Every structure is written in C-alpha cells, then in structure tokens.
C-alpha cells in the first residue's frame, strides 16, 4: 500500500477515459479512479516484501488498464514497484514508469551505434526520454519534430524540425543523408508511413531502414469489439510481414514495449541518480490534486500539447 505523492499522465489514461479501447481497457466498474503511474511512500507491505514502511517508491500500472493511481492511497503489486531515485522529488520520480520504459525498450531494440534517427514527436513525455536514450545508444545523428527546439537540442537532438512550418519529408539534408530509423510516437498518422515508404529520407529495407510506430495509422487507437481488435492486428501484422519480404521499402515495426522486465525500473532510477537521464516536467503540471487541475492535465494530454511529462501532485 502506497501513500501517493504524484501521478504522471500518459496516453493510456486518455484511452481509458474516452473509452477508445474499451474492448480490453475499460474499467471493470464505474466510477473508477484514473491515472496509472505514481510515486509515493510505502505505508504497508507483506512480511516477505523487499520494501518497508517509509520507503520512497515508484510504481507502474498493471497491464492493460492504467488506473487507480489518482488517489491518496493505492495498492500495487510488488513486481511493478521499485525504489525511487534519491536525487529528484516525487513529481519527477512518477515519470519513470510507462513512458520511460517504452522509450528505453524502443532504443534498445531499434537504435544501433552510428544510427541516424528521426523521432516524430520528440517534445512529448516519451520523446524527451527517447532522445536521451538514442544518444546513449550511440546514435550518430538525432533529428526530431518539435516546437521546443531549445529543449530537445539540450537533451541531445542535433536538429529540431518545427512541424508547424516545415515538412520533415521535404528537407534536402534528410534526402541526401537518409535515416536508418524513423520512430513515430503517435503523431505522424498513416501519411508519415506513406511518405517514409515512397520517399528518400529513410533507407530501404535492404540497407536496414526501419519505420517504428507506437500507435499504428492513427494517434488514438479505437478498439471497441473483437472484430475491431482482429482487424487492427491483422492490418499491422500484414504490413510488418510484407515489408520484411519486399526489401525495396523500409521495414515496418509496430512497437509494443510495456511488458515490464525485471530490473528495468531500478535501471532507470540509477540513470537518474547518476545524471545520465533528465526528467522534464510539462509547465501544465498541477501544484495539487483538484478537479480543475486534473481536467487541465487530461486536456493537455488529449490535445497532444505536452512538452514533457504532465504530473498531478497529490
């Protein structure tokens, strides 16, 4: 049992709230408590637990439903809990779960030393982590779409493309030196894949080019029935299959990276304490738990206007 001190919001919280994936993410009953990723203090634990009363911890939600965190207390399974980094406060610590985990796994799977990487949507919660992980993985060049040019450059990006005034797929520099991997963090829609597939900014499959998406063809998945789920899965799996068989286009990858591996949260905490990983909070972060504060935080997340992690302090 954790006394909650802060909760960081993520896209999954919006899907649950709006019922976009109610086939498998809908609350089991209503009303429900939103929010899935938290930090706080242990107030009670089993005798066999490796945690004790008073420990400062972080906790990730139990798949597939991010919920139950935005409250004074939350009961969490121990395999989803880790000691919080000692060098940051509760608000920053709460960010080190789903978004950081997904970004870390993506960098480990798809980015190699010397890779040229383009991140679509680098100014959000996942993107700011991914820029840093890409740099740590040895990427030789990191570009990202973001209006927060100074921030993403500070974290390691070599080039920031303001998507409100410039199309990344038309930039001459990118065409002359195509990317090894493009990672779409749910902002590019189907058009981004089509531009990457038929354009020259991303290497073809025979040269190792990869297009990795976090959400498929639309920023917000909508799965309401079994048939919706089957159609969604088959479409993406078929695209992954034929792009592997046809080397004249980049390989298409649907990134599913939230199954927590043992030791991942501890690794992230160590990276923060050692100064290897910075946590950026969005200016929309609330100072306290309130109805208006939560509504504003969810609004920022829904409109994809976050620049960093949106956190609600309890």
pLDDT band at 132 (very low <50, low <70, confident <90, very high): very high
pLDDT band at 304 (very low <50, low <70, confident <90, very high): confident
pLDDT band at 302 (very low <50, low <70, confident <90, very high): confident
| C-alpha distances out from residue 142 to 57, 126, 305, Å | 32, 15, 22
Average of per-residue pLDDT values in the chain = 93
pLDDT of residue 107: 97
DSSP secondary structure of 233-302? HHHHHHHHHHHHH-TTSPEEEE----SPPTTHHHHHHHHHHTTS----B-TT-BSS--HHHHHHHHHHHH
Does 144 have pLDDT greater than 80?
yes
**How big is the chain, counted in residues?**
314
Residue 243, preceding peptide bond in cis (omega within 30° of 0): no
pTM equals: 0.94
Does 220 have pLDDT greater than 80?
no
pLDDT band at 162 (very low <50, low <70, confident <90, very high): very high
Does 205 have pLDDT greater than 90?
yes
Task: Report H helices in the chain.
Answer: 11-18, 90-93, 98-110, 125-136, 149-155, 172-176, 189-198, 226-245, 264-273, 291-302
Q: Looking at 24-28, 45-49, 246-250, which range is the least confident one?
A: 24-28
Instruction: Say which CATH architecture domain 99-254 belongs to.
Output: 3-Layer(aba) Sandwich (3.40)
- Give the mean model confidence (pLDDT) for residues 292-306: 87
pLDDT tens digits, 76-126: 999 999 999 999 999 999 999 999 999 999 999 999 999 999 999 999 999
Q: Where are the domains of the chain?
A: 2-96+279-313, 99-254
Does 211 have pLDDT greater than 90?
yes
pLDDT of residue 42: 98
pLDDT of residue 86: 97
- Give the mean model confidence (pLDDT) for residues 140-152: 95
Instruction: Say which CATH architecture domain 2-96+279-313 belongs to.
Output: Alpha-Beta Complex (3.90)
Does 35 have pLDDT greater than 90?
yes
Does 28 have pLDDT greater than 90?
no
pLDDT tens digits, 165-183: 999 999 999 999 999 999 9
Does 275 have pLDDT greater than 90?
yes
pLDDT of residue 196: 95
Contact residues for 117 (Cβ-Cβ < 8 A; gap 6+): 111, 134, 139, 141, 142, 143, 179, 180, 181, 182, 183
pLDDT band at 285 (very low <50, low <70, confident <90, very high): confident
CA angle at 104 for the pair 101 and 106, rounded to the nearest 5°: 110
């Amino acid at each position: 049992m954790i006394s909650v001190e802060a909760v960081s919001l993520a896209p999954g919280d919006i899907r649950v709230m709006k019922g976009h994936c109610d086939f498998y993410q809908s609350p089991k009953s209503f009303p429900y408590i939103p929010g899935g990723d938290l930090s706080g203090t242990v107030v009670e634990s089993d005798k066999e637990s490796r945690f004790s009363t008073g420990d400062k911890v972080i906790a990730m939600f139990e798949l597939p439903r991010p919920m139950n965190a935005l409250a004074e207390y939350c009961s969490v399974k121990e395999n989803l809990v880790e000691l919080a980094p000692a060098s940051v406060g509760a608000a920053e610590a709460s960010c080190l779960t789903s978004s950081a985990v997904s970004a870390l796994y993506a960098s480990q799977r798809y980015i190699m030393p010397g890779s040229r990487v383009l991140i679509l949507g680098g100014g959000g919660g996942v993107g700011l982590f991914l820029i840093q992980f890409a740099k740590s993985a040895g990427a030789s060049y990191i570009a990202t779409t973001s209006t927060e040019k100074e921030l993403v450059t500070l974290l390691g990006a070599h080039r920031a493309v303001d998507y409100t005034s410039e199309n990344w797929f038309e930039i001459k520099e990118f065409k002359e030196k195509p990317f090894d991997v493009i990672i779409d963090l749910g902002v590019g829609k189907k058009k981004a894949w089509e531009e990457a597939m038929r354009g020259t900014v991303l290497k073809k499959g025979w040269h190792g080019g990869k297009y990795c998406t976090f959400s498929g063809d639309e920023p917000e998945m909508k799965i309401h029935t079994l048939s919706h789920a089957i159609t969604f899965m088959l479409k993406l799996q078929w695209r992954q299959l034929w792009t592997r068989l046809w080397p004249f286009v980049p390989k298409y990858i649907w990134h599913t990276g939230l199954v927590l591996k043992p030791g991942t949260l501890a690794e992230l905490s160590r990276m923060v304490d050692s100064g290897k990983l910075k946590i950026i909070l969005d200016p929309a972060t609330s100072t306290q738990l309130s109805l208006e504060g939560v509504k504003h935080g969810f609004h920022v997340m829904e409109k994809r206007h976050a620049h960093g992690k949106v956190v609600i302090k309890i």
